[in-house]
Every structure is written in C-alpha cells, then in structure tokens.
Structure 1
Amino acid sequence: MVNLIVFSIVCLAFTVQQAVAQQVPSSLPSEAAIEAYLKYQSRPAYSAFAVSPLGVYGESWSYGLISSADDAAISQCEEKQPDAPCYVVARDGESLHETTDVFSLRQHLTQERLKPWEPIEAFHVAMQVANNLEQAKAYRTYLTRNGNKAFAIAFGGAWGEAYGETNAHRAQHLALQSCEQKQGKQGQCQIIDTNQQATMGRIKSTILANADNDIRPLQAPTPDNSQRLAELAKTLLGDKWHDYQNATRHKAFAISQFGAIGIVQDHATPTVAEEAAILKCEGVNALREAMPHLQDQIAPCVAVAVNNDFNEANIKQITQSLDDQSSDTN
C-alpha cells in the first residue's frame, strides 16, 4: 500500500513537471489561451490554433486541408472578439512562433499585470483632460495603477480606463469600451494614454492645482496696441473672427500661410489653448499630406491669438507670406 502511494506521488509529480516544462508559443496572450493550447496539442491532424492580442483564441482539427483548418481557427477566434484580428500560432500541434515553457509564460503574464510605473509630477495630466475636472481627477488616479493600462476620453464627456492587463492592446480595447458605454455612443472616444505615455504630452492642470476651480471671464483687450493688433488679426481670421470673439474661457487661434486654421476654446490655461490650436491647425496639414493635389499647400501653423492677446510677430509673418503669394500670382 505504501509503495502504491509513493508510486502515485511520483507519477503525479512527473505529470506536473512535464506540464510545466511543456513548450508553448510565447505569444499566447492569456491564461485561458494557455489552457486551451495545452488541450489543443492532443487534437487530431490538420489542426490549427489562432489567438488575438485581446486574449481570445480559436481552434480547429480534422479539416482535411491545413488551409481550411487555419480559416476555421481564425473564424472561431474572431467570432469571440470581432474588434481585433486573429492569427494562427500553431498547426498540427507545432508552434509557428518562438516558444517558452508554461511556467515562464505564466510568470511573464503575471509580471505584465503587476508591473509598476514611474510616478508623474503632481497635478500634471494628459493635455486633453486639463480643462475637465472630472476627467483630470480620474486620470490622476489612473496614473497610480499598475500593469498594462490605458485611458480613453470623449471630449468634454465620458472617460474610461483599464489596468492590470497582460498587454497594451487589451488595455486599450477595454478602456475604449468602458468610455463608450458611459458616453452612450460608439466612435466618440479615443485613447489619450497607454502605459503612462500620453499621446499629446502632459501639462500642469490649473483646475486640479486650484481646489476652488475659479473660472473668471476674460478681460477685454486694452485700447492701445492690442486694439491695433486685433484689427490685423481680424483681417487674417475673416469670417472666423466672429466665432473667435464668442469663444469662452481660455481660447486660441492658429493659422498657416495657406489658410489651415485651428480655433479652440474652454481650456484650462492659455498655454494649453495655444498648443491645442496649433495641433488642430496641423491636423489640416496632415490631411493635405495625404492628398497629392494639396501637398504644395502645407506650411507650419503659428498662433496669432491666445485669449485677447495677439502675437504681432506671427501676424506679420502670415500677412507677409500672403502678400508674397499675391505678388507671385500677379
């Protein structure tokens, strides 16, 4: 009886050790995919195993043609999660990718879910949330989270986050999903941070730094030099001048010599507004880069107005460029 018990323990230990040492594709993205792959390896021939970065998987076997097995595995995987592409990682039980042992892969996934990040300076947030108190507070909390993570927002509205994930793709997907559920509409949310990397950089948020969130109306321009510059800017802004005058809180206007413009309003600080206006204007340049017939109409964007302050040097630069274009045409 004792010998039988000892033999059973030895067999069990061997089985566990064998399972742990078993080689699997290092690209398996989740614990569920690992478990499914271990079972898949005993399937009959003409088999395939597919995964998605989001952690789902699909498998097939006994299809007669290996190409049919590939298609079936991918189809099953994408039915589970249509928002991300699936790809084959193994055929007939043999990995197509670099392999690792099960224990090491599980250890790696755990490390990815728990890895810490460097702290960010107090009150600094992603530029897109600097003027929204609720989003800014949520983002500051997000910065303390561990593991692969992402933060998504709908401008002026909802936000969503995900953290403690095995990879950044899954974190981004879940953050967008959370944001869109709160917003109530699809396609209005965007990722603004992945793994402590803000897409447009970070700045100090005034509304976080000042607890009372004091928002005061902008002062009217003084009648001296500011009024003269305002008249010059009005010429450049054309029919957009009225829109800019009606804009609220911290606002800015950027323009290029070829007429690309960016108007923004309701930002936390003048600096944020200026950067946002230039980025919006440069977005027009980015669109023109993709259109061959407009590629000769690309020039750097500059801020000509921030709140009621008008940049004389930039106004003169754009005005001179327009005059030069007019002379060349004539």
Structure 2
Amino acid sequence: MHRSALAVFLGVVLSACSGAAPTATTEPALPEKRLALSFDDAPMSDGPILTGDERTDALITTLADREAPPAVFFVTTQGLGRDNGRARIERYVDAGHLLANHSHSHQGASSTDPAIYIADIDEAERQLAGFGNRRAWYRFPFLDEGRPLERRDLYRSALAERGLTNGYVTMDTYDWYLNDKWRRALAAGQMVDEAALKSVYLDMLMASVEYYDELAAESLGESPAHIILLHANDLNAHFIGDFIDRVRSEGWTLVSPDEVYADPIATQTPQTLITNQGHVAALAIDGGRSPIGMTHLGIEEDQIDALIETRQVFGER
C-alpha cells in the first residue's frame, strides 16, 4: 500500500475506534482574484465619437450601475483647461472615485530633460491640490520610469521627496490602440460593427488579465491585488460594463486601488529598467524571467490588427 493511502486508512480506523466519524475531505480554496480599475489621461478632449461630457457621463453611470468600487483616474492636468475638463474631474470625485497624478503634459521620462520632467510633475501636483479624493500616487506616462539607471534613480528620489509613490500597473493593455483604430476608421468614413469591436476589446483585455495573473503566479508565487491600465477614452465609455461583467464571470472581485497599493508587492521595488509592461512583469524580470517573448494579444498590434480583420470590425460603406 502507498504510504499516503496507508495514512488515510489508519486515520479512518483510529477515528472509528474513538467513536468519531471520519471528516470529509474538501478541496483547498482557490486564491481570491482581485482587480482594481484605473483610467489614465483624464480628462480627454472632445472627440468624433463622444464629447468629454458624454464620456464622463458614460463612465460614471456604468461604474455605478455595476456597483463597482472606486476606480482611480490618473489626471493629466493640461486637460483641465479645455472641454469642461475641471468640472468633469470634479464629477468623478463627487461619484466617489479617486484621483492621482499622471503628469501635466504626458512626457516620456527617458527622453525629457530631468529638470523639465520633474517640474512637470510639480505643475500637476499644483493643479490637483484643490481636488478631493486625492491619492499620493504618480503614474509614469508610457510606464517609462526613466533610463539610464542614474535618471531612473533621480526620478525615484524626486517622488520620495514629494511624498509620492509609484502608481504602477500590474496589467498592461492596448485599449488606447484599439480606440485610435476606431477613431481613424470613422475619420476615413468606414462602417463600424460595434458588436465585433466589443468582442475584440473584451478578448484583448481578458488576454492581459490572464497573462499577467499567470505571470504573477509563476514568478511571484501568488496572485496579488492587480490593477489594470485603461484610459478614459470612448472605447471604455462604451464597453467598460461588459468588461466588468466578464471579469466577474471569470471569478474576479473588483476592489479599490487602495487595496492594490497596500498589497505586499507594493513594497518590492523593481531593479530592471524594463518597466513598460508594469510591476508584475518587472518583478518577474528581476527574478530571472527573460523579457524576450513576454507578450500576448492584449499588447501586440499585429495580433490586434489580425483580429480586427478576421472579425470585420471596420468596412466600407
């Protein structure tokens, strides 16, 4: 008899002898899958699909209808002065959502003079000072935390001096790319199959969710509280409710970004300079994972284009 089987047999015999009924075995509980929503580049300008006000209405209404916990809107403050931007950000606050710094003018950390880049952070802090529901998080535009090493470390020191922490993502997406394809199709006078567009959107986002959670399990040994990178654009204004429904159907619980940035992995600072896929990917690289081949549908333009073509999302009138 196999040793483990013998142990079970003896346990049953001893329980019977003592008069106690054997206890039923239960499957171990699966780890909780937690996900927070974050929206970059708010407030975005009026566009060919929705005005800024319509976009804000749609996001607030859908998040409320789905009884979602607070999301965080990472604000690029140069947008506050146009298309009713300041009032729209106030409306996110009034709806209970959180605000954080996404710079003033959305410059790249590696390509901008450090003094100019840090001044841009400060300008955003100045303009955000009067808003409620503020969090001391800074999200680097393009997830570019700065190269070379000395510049990266300079920015980290600058954030610490200002009481800011990295508002990292754990799940990168190319929702911005699909949104841009939609806008370009309309500008070219093409027809848009919105049901097919939604299917591409959902498959892209779920590919990101699944990939980065599996990467975390393999590289970190756990599923941390995740935060997904989205944008305050027309695509999400149309379909964020469908995404919420989908992730919940896959066993995910939506949580506040406060829970994400209180997760133990928030105290782990990546050493790699490759940060463009977010915190989990960077920590995986630190742990020895090669960045070569670290890819999936959610961030690959060629794969997204192929799916758009296969599903005939855009067509001639």
TM over 0.5: no
Q: Pick 1 or 2: higher relative contact order, CA cutoff 8 A, min separation 6.
A: 2
More strand by share: 1
Q: TM-score, normalised by structure 2?
A: 0.22
> Which has the larger share of helix?
2
Q: TM-score, normalised by structure 1?
A: 0.21
